[in-house]
Structure 1
Amino acid sequence: MEKETVRMKMKEILESSFSVPSLKEAVLTSIEEHTKQSDFLFGRLAGVHYQMFSENMKETERIAAVVELMMLAGDLLDDLVDQDSLEISWRQVPLATFLHVVVGLLLAGQKAIADLPIDDYKKVRAQSYILSRLLQSLNGQHMDVTNDIQTETDYLQMLKKKSGSLVAMACFVGTALAGAEKNTVIIEKYANDIGIAAQIDNDIDALYRWDEKNDIKAKKKSLPVLYMLASKRDNLLKQYFSNHIDYNELYAQKEKVIQQMEQEGAFYYAKVMSQIYKEKALQEIEKLDVDDRYKSALKTIIL
C-alpha cells in the first residue's frame, strides 16, 4: 500500500465532498500538511486488517484513506484543545473555517464508507466501531485535558481510552469491512497496547519540545512527570506542580528540568514501559489465526 496512493484517495474523497472553494482549499491543504507529518499508521492498520481477513486488494487504499481522514480531524481538534502550536497556515484561518474543516473531514470519511461497494451489513459494523471508539477516545481526551490523572494507573487507563481506542478503531474498520467475526478479543488487546506505547512515546517527545507542545504549561501528568512527582528528591517539576514556582520561572530553567528528568531516570522508565506494551502487542499478534505474512506486516508497523 503506497502512501502516495492513499493521499490521492483522500483528495479524491474530499474533492467530491466540498463545493465551496475556500472550504475545499482548506481541507485539501490539510491533506498536504498531514502527508508531510504522518506515516499513515492508522490507515496502514486498517488496510492490513482488511487484506488480512478478505485478501481483497481492490478497496484497501480507499479504506486506508477514510481512516486517515478521520484521524486528521482528530489530530487538528486535539491541537486546538491542547493549545499546541498549529501549523502557520492554520493560524491564519478563522476559527469557524477550522471547525468546518474538522467536522467536514469526519463527515466525508463516514460518507466514503457508506459509498464503498461492500455489503451494507459490513459497512454498518464498521461505522458502529468508528462511533464507539471515537466516543471512548473523547472520554480519554477529556481526562487528559482536565488533568484528571493522579496515579500511573489513571494515566494508563486514560491512554487506553484516548489512544488505544483509536488504534482499535482503525483495526476494526478493516476487520468489519472484510466481514471477519473472529479474533476480535486479540485485536482489541494488541490495539490497546499499540496505542498506549505510541502515546507514551509521544508524551516523552512533547517534554523535549516546550515551544511546540503545551503539556508542561498545562500541567499534564504524563508518565515521566508522574515519575518525577513521586521522587523522594526535590526537583523543579515538583516545585511547579505544587505552585511554588510559576511557568515562566520553570521555562527559564527548562534545560535543567530535562537534565533532572534524564538523571533521575524518568525518561528511561517511560521508554521501558513503552517497550513492554510493544512486546505485549507482539505476543498477541502471534495468536492471530492468519497467514504469517500479515503478522509480519503488523509487526513492521508497530516497530
Structure 2
Amino acid sequence: MDSLKELYPEVREVLKNSIPNYWSELRYVLKGFLEGAMSPEAMLPLASCQAVNGNPKNAIHISAALLAFGACLRILDDLEDRDRADKLWEKVGTARAWNFACAVNIICFEILSKAPLQLEVFKSINQCYLDTCLRIAAGQDKDLAGVTQTIDDYWLSIQMKTASASAMACATGAMVGTDNSELIQACGVFGHHLGLAIQILNDMESIWQPDGITDLKQGKITLPLLYGLQSNHPEREELMSIVSDNEIATHAERIQEILDHIDTKRFLIWAALKEREQALEAIKICPNAEGREVLESYITGMFGDIDLLLEKPEDDKT
C-alpha cells in the first residue's frame, strides 16, 4: 500500500494542473483535495490496476479524475441534501455552488482526455464515466422524487448511486492494466459490493453517529427505517403510522428508540459484511497479490472495530 501512496503527490499534481490559472476561486474549492489527507477512494484505481498486473503509475490520471468526480458529487450532494456541516453552498450561495459543481465535472473529463492511454482504452474508460454519471443522476432523482418506499426500491437506488461510482473507480483502474474482460469485471464487481457496504454503513452513521443533522431529523427514509417498517415487531404499527403521517422528522427520537429496540444496527452490520464477503470473493482471480491485498484491506479496514459499531446506547446496557 505504501508504494501506491507514493503516487499520491503525482495524482494531486494532475488535478492541480487541470485547474485554470485564471480561476483562483475554483482552486480554493478544491483545496481540500489538493492538501491534507488524500481522499481514500483515490486508492481504488491504483490498486485495481496493480491487482490485474498493470503498472499503477499508468492509472494516475484515472485516480485524479476520480478525485474531481468525487468533489463534484460532494458539492451536488450538499446542495440537494443540505445535511452536512461546512457546506460550500452556505459560503458562496446556491447558484455559485452549482456552477462550481459543473466546472469540476468538466475537469474530470479533461483529465481523462489528457491521460496517456491508447485510444481504445480511453474510449472505454470515458464511456464508463459517462454511463456512471447518468446512473448516479437517475438514482439521485429517485431519492429526490421520494419514490424509495421499500427495501427493493432502496437497493435499486443505492446500486445506481454509490455502487455504480465505486464499480467505475475499480473497473477503470483495471482497464488501464489489462484488456482481460474477466479481470476488469472482477474489479468492477468488487467496487459494486464495496459501494453497497459503504452506503449501508453511511446510513447507519447518519442516524447513530451523524456529521450534522440526522437522516431522521430530515425526514429521510433510508435502510434503517425501511428495516423497521418491514420487520415484524410490536412497534411496527406505530412506526408505520409515523411514516404515513409524514411525521418522521417530528418523531425522530422515538423512531431511533424503536430501531434500537429491534437491534437495527446489528442487521446493518450483517448486511454490510455480506457485501464485503461478495467483494472479496470477486477479486480472488486477480493475479497480483499486492494489489489484491490493498483492495482487501480497503474494504476490511472501513469496518473498524465492529464491536464498537454494535455497542448499544447507554440506556440499553445492563
User: Distance in 2 between the 1:192 and 1:23 partners?
Assistant: 34
Amino acid at match of 2:261: Q
- Deviation of 1:86 after TM superposition, in Å, equals 4.5
Moved more, 12-21 or 217-226: 12-21
Amino acid at match of 1:124: K
| 2:308 matched residue in structure 1 | none
Does structure 1 conserve the Cα–Cα contact (< 8 Å) formed by 2:4 and 2:56?
no
User: Distance in 2 between the 1:192 and 1:202 partners?
Assistant: 15
SS of the aligned residue for 1:268 comes to helix
User: Distance in 1 between the 2:225 and 2:205 partners?
Assistant: 13
| 2:15 matched residue in structure 1 | 13
Unmatched tracts of structure 1, length 5 or more:
none
User: Distance in 1 between the 2:125 and 2:107 partners?
Assistant: 15
| 2:268 matched residue in structure 1 | 270
CA deviations over 1:119-164 (Å, ceiling 9, x no partner): 1221111111111122112212222232212222222122111111
Does structure 2 conserve the Cα–Cα contact (< 8 Å) formed by 1:45 and 1:170?
yes
User: Distance in 2 between the 1:296 and 1:265 partners?
Assistant: 32
Pair 1:31–1:296, CA change in 2 (3 A): closer
Does structure 2 conserve the Cα–Cα contact (< 8 Å) formed by 1:66 and 1:112?
yes
- Deviation of 1:226 after TM superposition, in Å, equals 0.9
- Deviation of 1:209 after TM superposition, in Å, equals 4.8
Does structure 1 conserve the Cα–Cα contact (< 8 Å) formed by 2:79 and 2:94?
no
Does structure 1 conserve the Cα–Cα contact (< 8 Å) formed by 2:174 and 2:187?
no
Unmatched tracts of structure 2, length 5 or more:
301-318
SS of the aligned residue for 1:290 comes to coil
| 1:29 matched residue in structure 2 | 31
- Deviation of 1:93 after TM superposition, in Å, equals 0.9
Does structure 2 conserve the Cα–Cα contact (< 8 Å) formed by 1:147 and 1:219?
no
Match of 1:299 among 296, 299, 302: 296
| 1:204 matched residue in structure 2 | 204
Q: CA RMSD in A?
A: 2.7
Amino acid at match of 2:251: L
Trace 1:142-161 onto structure 2 (pairs within 5 A): 142-161=141-160
Does structure 2 conserve the Cα–Cα contact (< 8 Å) formed by 1:144 and 1:220?
no
Trace 1:96-107 onto structure 2 (pairs within 5 A): 96-107=95-106
- Percent identical residues: 21
Trace 1:81-230 onto structure 2 (pairs within 5 A): 81-87=80-86, 90-183=89-182, 184-209=184-209, 212-213=212-213, 215-230=215-230
Segments ≥4 residues shifted beyond 6 Å? none
- Deviation of 1:232 after TM superposition, in Å, equals 3.6
Pair 1:112–1:44, CA change in 2 (3 A): same
Moved more, 56-65 or 257-266: 56-65
| 2:251 matched residue in structure 1 | 250
Pair 1:16–1:279, CA change in 2 (3 A): closer
- Deviation of 1:189 after TM superposition, in Å, equals 2.6
Amino acid at match of 2:207: L
Pair 1:16–1:229, CA change in 2 (3 A): closer
- Deviation of 1:269 after TM superposition, in Å, equals 1.0
User: Distance in 2 between the 1:172 and 1:295 partners?
Assistant: 13
Pair 1:140–1:215, CA change in 2 (3 A): same
| 2:57 matched residue in structure 1 | 58
User: Distance in 2 between the 1:105 and 1:275 partners?
Assistant: 33
SS of the aligned residue for 2:131 comes to helix
Does structure 2 conserve the Cα–Cα contact (< 8 Å) formed by 1:171 and 1:191?
yes
User: Distance in 2 between the 1:20 and 1:273 partners?
Assistant: 47
CA deviations over 1:191-243 (Å, ceiling 9, x no partner): 22111111000000101256714622443322210121234423664343121
| 2:314 matched residue in structure 1 | none
User: Distance in 1 between the 2:128 and 2:199 partners?
Assistant: 21
Pair 1:185–1:63, CA change in 2 (3 A): closer
- Asked if 1:234 is matched to 2:235, the reply is yes
User: Distance in 1 between the 2:259 and 2:246 partners?
Assistant: 19
